[in-house]
Amino acid sequence: MKRLLYLVTIITIGIFFINAAAHKAKPKVLIFSKTNGFRHSCIPAGIAAIKKLGEENGFEVDATEDSLQFNKKNLKKYSELIFLCPTQKVFGPDEEAALQDYIHKGGGYVGIHAATDCEYNWPWYGQLAGAYFKSHPKQQKAKLIIVNKNHPSTSFLPDTWERWDEWYNFKDISPNTTVLIKIDETSYTGGENGDNHPMAWYHEFEGGKAFYTELGHTDDSYSDSTYLKHLLGGIQWAMKTM
């Protein structure tokens, strides 16, 4: 009888832990795409694509254009914040403080394309993102040079990646990031950052993690499996759970 009770107890405990593991909350990310300047038409496609990446890779996705969701209580729910082409001034002082607190507590940040065209009057944000947008020529094909493959966003890419997109020139480029991709300015017209013109980078910043990719202006980017794998690598790297 004692042996039977022992076995029942062990089985019950085992079932409890199996169920607990099965119901463990998935990491959750928040896409933020508020615009007070130019609004990219790719935003809906980007949101849909990231939600699909979440379904396929075990993370949940919320999306908002409400900057008031940037408060300490709400941001605690998220393993990462994805800035999908927000533009110009999007935060007040309270939201700025909440974002800083989130990063200082180990939060993750992913900036996509126009995330650098944002919060010009808040230097801390520029340091987090890694640069500010300066200008861009017309959309055209160009060659990207993969300079660092020791990162999940670039490990699978060819040495040279040719793409059609909108190519940013940057100002206030942080020296404290690790560049992953640069653009070959001889392969297109309108580049203004020289031989070391960065297009994607990452860094650990004030307790948190930040990844930025300039790619992703076009709607077609969000049905491009290679670009989406690049973006997913950045998303997964920056999550607090990793």
pTM of the model: 0.90
Residues of the chain predicted below pLDDT 70: 1-24, 241-242
Q: How confident is the model at residue 16, as a pLDDT?
A: 42
Could you tell me if residue 7 is inside a domain? Answer: no
Helices (H), 27-162: 43-57, 72-75, 93-104, 123-129
| 23, 105, 231 from 211: Cα distances, Å | 29, 17, 9
Could you tell me if residue 93 is inside a domain? Answer: yes
Q: How confident is the model at residue 236, as a pLDDT?
A: 97
Alpha-carbon gap, residue 195 to 218, rounded angstroms: 25
Pairing outcome for strands 197-205 and 208-213: antiparallel
- Looking at the chain, which runs of residues are DSSP E strands? 28-32, 60-64, 80-84, 108-112, 132-135, 140-146, 160-165, 169-171, 178-183, 197-205, 208-213
Question: Strand, helix or coil at 187?
Answer: helix
Could you tell me if residue 183 is inside a domain? Answer: yes
Q: How confident is the model at residue 22, as a pLDDT?
A: 41
Tens-digit pLDDT profile for residues 80-89: 999 999 999 9
Could you tell me if residue 181 is inside a domain? Answer: yes
Alpha-carbon gap, residue 39 to 42, rounded angstroms: 9
Tens-digit pLDDT profile for residues 142-194: 999 999 999 999 999 999 999 999 999 999 999 999 999 999 999 999 999 99
Could you tell me if residue 173 is inside a domain? Answer: yes
* Number of compact structural domains in the chain: 1
Q: How confident is the model at residue 99, as a pLDDT?
A: 98
Q: Which domain holds residue 110?
A: 28-238
Q: How confident is the model at residue 83, as a pLDDT?
A: 98
Could you tell me if residue 10 is inside a domain? Answer: no
Alpha-carbon gap, residue 200 to 54, rounded angstroms: 21
| 20, 115, 129, 140, 171 from 125: Cα distances, Å | 38, 10, 6, 29, 13
Could you tell me if residue 210 is inside a domain? Answer: yes
- CATH number (domain holding residue 160): 3.40.50.880
Q: How confident is the model at residue 24, as a pLDDT?
A: 61
Q: How confident is the model at residue 25, as a pLDDT?
A: 84
Could you tell me if residue 38 is inside a domain? Answer: yes
